[in-house]
């Protein structure tokens, strides 16, 4: 007897809307990453993308705990000599809060082709409006502290 794996048409992807108002960044990111990877689904297979689509609204109302807002630094290297760029959390959050939320979630996904395809199912918006009403997303309530 062989193991049955879900095919392309068998994977029914759902759309969820998550309101980030008052949510803690790391706790929200872990819950959303589990949905994107498909671990909340009964069809979960480690080497297949069985996750659902997630839309996050109100990214500017997310909060961080402790001293992260003063001490956290985002770094990336441009590839050129002396090309290390740094930006502190507060500056990046004021400039583009959706990028902060997106990077936190994408950092929890696999660093492979599979992880990149999972990351494409994430949409983050600054306000409470989004462009995906046609997909009829269901509101997903994540327990907040």
Q: What is the mean pLDDT of each run of 10 residues along the chain (145 residues)?
A: 84 94 96 96 91 97 95 96 97 97 97 96 96 95 71
Whole-number pLDDT of residue 145 = 54
Domain holding 105, by residue range, is 22-90+98-139
* CA distance from start to end of the chain: 46
**Number of domains forming the structure of the chain:** 1
Rounded-to-integer distance, Cα 26 and Cα 65, Å: 9
Whole-number pLDDT of residue 2 = 87
Q: Is residue 3 part of a domain?
A: no
Whole-number pLDDT of residue 140 = 93
CATH number of domain containing 119: 3.90.1180.10
Rounded-to-integer distance, Cα 102 and Cα 50, Å: 20
Whole-number pLDDT of residue 144 = 59
Asked if residues 29 and 64 have their Cβ atoms less than 8 Å apart, the reply is no
Whole-number pLDDT of residue 4 = 84
Q: Is residue 60 part of a domain?
A: yes
Q: Is residue 12 part of a domain?
A: no
Q: Is residue 17 part of a domain?
A: no
């Amino acid at each position: 007897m062989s193991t049955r794996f879900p095919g392309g048409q068998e994977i029914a992807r759902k759309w969820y809307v998550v309101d980030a108002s008052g949510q803690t960044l790391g706790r929200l990111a872990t819950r959303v990453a589990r949905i994107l990877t498909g671990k909340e689904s009964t069809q979960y297979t480690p080497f297949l993308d069985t996750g659902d689509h997630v839309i996050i609204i109100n990214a500017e109302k997310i909060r961080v705990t402790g001293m992260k807002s003063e001490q956290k630094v985002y770094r990336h290297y441009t590839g050129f000599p002396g090309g290390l760029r740094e930006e502190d959390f507060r500056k990046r959050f004021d400039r583009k809060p959706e990028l902060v939320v997106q990077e936190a979630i994408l950092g929890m996904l696999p660093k492979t082709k599979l992880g990149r395809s999972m990351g494409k199912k994430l949409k983050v918006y600054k306000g409470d409006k989004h462009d995906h009403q046609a997909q009829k997303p269901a509101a997903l309530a994540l327990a907040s502290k």
